[in-house]
């Protein structure tokens, strides 16, 4: 680890206590342990075997936590090339088989304009707060073949989020300046 890297630990599952490293890129704001623990307690009933999508992956800690707790596959989308290299390095160091993950170096909006590789059971959206585009993403996710019928979407934002059409807020919370919620698709 260099001085320009920080570390996080996986807090549950088969990779519990393992550490991942990530750079000091100003847009990377990892989800705190306390919030992650709450989120993954909420997701525990639906996580085993789930296909997950992490937009604005950054440190990738949400996907790595999901894999540790039984997700079948994760797809991480990140626009920064060096951050993607770090994500791949962490997944390899953790011993995650290559068939359980995809890391794509892409701008989220460009990735979302393509044909969906879904459907996904769980989507994590934690964009840089200075580049907050959650509402259009939620509309895109709901309008196309991105989501499984009973999909859940986790969102972190600088303000409380109202549920968009075809979704409802399943759970929500706040930690300091961060608002987080778990949206569930209406069935």
Mean pLDDT by 10 residues, the chain (187 residues): 71 89 66 85 97 94 96 96 93 96 95 90 86 79 87 90 88 89 89
Residue 40 CA to residue 36 CA, distance in Å, equals 6
DSSP letters for 167-184? EEEEEEEEETTEEEEEEE
70: tokens are 């039984």
**What topology does CATH give the domain 5-185?**
Rossmann fold (3.40.50)
What does the pLDDT look like over 96-129, one tens digit per residue?
Answer: 999 999 999 999 999 999 888 889 999 999 887 6
Q: Delimit the domains of the chain by residue range.
A: 5-185
């Amino acid at each position: 680890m260099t001085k320009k890297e920080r570390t996080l630990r996986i807090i549950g599952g088969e990779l519990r206590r393992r550490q991942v490293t990530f750079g000091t890129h100003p847009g990377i704001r990892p989800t705190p342990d306390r919030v992650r623990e709450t989120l993954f307690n909420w997701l525990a009933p639906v996580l085993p075997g789930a296909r997950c999508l992490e937009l604005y992956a950054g440190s990738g800690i949400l996907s790595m936590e999901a894999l540790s707790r039984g997700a079948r596959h994760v797809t991480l989308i990140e626009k920064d090339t060096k951050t993607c290299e770090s994500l791949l390095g962490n997944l390899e160091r953790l011993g995650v088989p290559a068939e359980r993950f995809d890391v794509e170096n892409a701008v989220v909006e460009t990735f979302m304009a393509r044909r969906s590789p879904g459907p996904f059971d769980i989507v994590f959206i934690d964009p840089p707060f200075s580049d907050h585009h959650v509402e259009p993403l939620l509309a895109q996710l709901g309008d196309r073949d991105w989501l499984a019928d009973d999909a859940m979407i986790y969102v972190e934002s600088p303000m409380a989020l109202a549920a968009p059409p075809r979704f409802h807020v399943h759970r929500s919370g706040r930690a300091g300046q961060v608002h987080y919620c778990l949206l569930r698709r209406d069935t």
